[in-house]
């Protein structure tokens, strides 16, 4: 097919697939190769001789230090597709906590709420900074300082403090998530709202356009591409924030809780599968934002 392709884009596309596949294969090979040395000290391997046999055992351990990729995929499959999704309770059908989808949904809901709150906050801060010199001088340092504080230190404080006033569950996690993700949005939007050039701004001035009109007709649309670039970063760190928010509670639910309980009980495969699902979730979120970006920019007449 690529030989017959008339356009120049086709061979380039094919040319990028092969390197990706090669790198993936290399990583997989290295991973499988690493399973034996990583798990070498486990008792199950003590009496096995012969390199091939030792490798085979190292790829099928129950609680390995490093599980093999296929073990992780199998665990992910069993804990999602292989487990009942719903459970009958007195309140009717609910998501089954034994299914990883339940935990993914808990984390995703905190992520989405945090993402929405953080993005909104970031946009509001950016609007304030762009329109008020006082705000730009007083707020900007705090915006930057907020990100120098390690989130792992802040998260328990937020969870405990909010818990003491009766706020538990979704909202505290969303707040931690928002705390992380407002930053790239604020920075990106300040840049975006300031992106119109002198001529575009002078034009509004010659029309005696108000600040509000200049904002909606010029600054905001000019900032939209910047907004989406920021949102792509923000949405992934929102997920990180939600997972981090699930750790200090000793959590019962969520991907963070699975990571935590997995490490308590040495269930490495469970940790890895939760990790893989988190990565898939992040990828899904980025794809969703990218899709929204493409549709929006297309409607705004950007060059295809």
Partner 1 sequence: MSEATLDRPEAQASRGHDAAGGVIDIRDLSLTFQTADGPVYALSHVDLAVRKGEFISFIGPSGCGKTTLLRVIADLEQASSGTISVNGLTPEQARLNRQYGYVFQAPALYPWRTIEKNVMLPLEVFGMSRAEQQARARKYLALVNLAGFEQKFPWQLSGGMQQRASIARALSFDPQLLLMDEPFGALDEIVRDKLNEQLLRLWAETRKTVIFVTHSIPEAVFLSTRIVVMSPRPGRIIDIIECDLGDNRTLDIRETPRFLAIAQRVREGLRAGHSYDD
Q: Please, what is the minimum distance in Å from the beta carbon of residue 194 to partner 1?
A: 16
For residues 102 and 251, is the Cβ–Cβ distance under 8 A?
Answer: no
Q: Please, what is the minimum distance in Å from the beta carbon of residue 188 to partner 1?
A: 17
Sign of CA dihedral 164, 170, 175, 177: positive
Q: Is 238 exposed, middle or buried (0-12, 13-18, 19+ CB in 10 A)?
A: buried
Which residues make up the interface to partner 1 (CB under 8 A)?
197, 199-200, 202-209, 213, 217-218, 221-222, 224, 300-303
Helix (H) or strand (E) run with residue 86 in it: strand 86-89
Q: Please, what is the minimum distance in Å from the beta carbon of residue 210 to partner 1?
A: 8
In this complex, which beta carbon is closest to partner 1, that of residue 83 or of residue 195?
Answer: 195
Give the SS3 label for residue 172. helix
Q: Please, what is the minimum distance in Å from the beta carbon of residue 107 to partner 1?
A: 36
Q: Is 154 exposed, middle or buried (0-12, 13-18, 19+ CB in 10 A)?
A: middle
For residues 127 and 193, is the Cβ–Cβ distance under 8 A?
Answer: yes
In this complex, which beta carbon is closest to partner 1, that of residue 125 or of residue 204?
Answer: 204
The structure tokens listed for 24 are 């993936």
User: Strand pairing partners for 93?
Assistant: 88
For residues 281 and 146, is the Cβ–Cβ distance under 8 A?
Answer: no
In this complex, which beta carbon is closest to partner 1, that of residue 139 or of residue 222?
Answer: 222
In this complex, which beta carbon is closest to partner 1, that of residue 203 or of residue 275?
Answer: 203
The structure tokens listed for 11 are 């061979």
In this complex, which beta carbon is closest to partner 1, that of residue 69 or of residue 209?
Answer: 209
Q: Please, what is the minimum distance in Å from the beta carbon of residue 212 to partner 1?
A: 11
- The DSSP output letter for 6 is -
Q: Please, what is the minimum distance in Å from the beta carbon of residue 213 to partner 1?
A: 5
In this complex, which beta carbon is closest to partner 1, that of residue 91 or of residue 197?
Answer: 197
């Amino acid at each position: 097919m690529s030989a017959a392709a008339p356009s120049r884009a086709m061979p380039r596309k094919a040319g990028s697939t092969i390197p990706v596949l090669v790198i993936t294969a290399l990583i997989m090979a290295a991973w499988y190769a690493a399973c034996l040395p990583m798990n070498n000290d486990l008792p199950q391997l003590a009496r096995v001789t012969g390199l091939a046999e030792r490798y085979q055992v190292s790829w099928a351990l129950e609680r390995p230090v490093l599980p093999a990729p296929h073990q992780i995929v199998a665990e992910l499959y069993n804990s999602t597709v292989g487990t009942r999704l719903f459970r009958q309770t007195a309140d009717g059908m609910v998501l089954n906590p034994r299914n990883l989808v339940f935990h993914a949904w808990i984390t995703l809901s905190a992520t989405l709420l945090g993402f929405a709150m953080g993005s909104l906050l970031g946009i509001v801060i950016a609007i304030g900074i762009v329109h008020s010199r006082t705000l730009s001088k007083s707020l900007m340092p705090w915006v930057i300082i907020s990100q120098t504080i390690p989130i792992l230190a802040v998260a328990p404080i937020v969870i405990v403090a909010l818990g003491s006033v009766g706020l538990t569950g979704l909202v505290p996690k969303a707040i931690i998530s928002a705390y992380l993700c407002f930053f790239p949005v604020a920075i990106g939007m300040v840049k975006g709202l300031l992106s119109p050039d002198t001529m575009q701004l002078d034009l509004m001035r010659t029309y005696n356009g108000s600040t509000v009109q200049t904002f909606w007709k010029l600054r905001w649309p000019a900032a939209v591409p910047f907004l989406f670039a920021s949102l792509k970063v923000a949405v992934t760190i929102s997920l990180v924030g939600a997972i981090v928010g699930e750790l200090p509670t000793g959590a019962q639910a969520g991907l963070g809780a699975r990571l935590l309980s997995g490490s308590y009980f040495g269930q490495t495969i469970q940790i890895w599968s939760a990790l893989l699902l988190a990565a898939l979730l992040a990828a899904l979120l980025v794809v969703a934002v990218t899709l929204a970006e493409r549709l929006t920019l297309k409607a705004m007449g950007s060059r295809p």
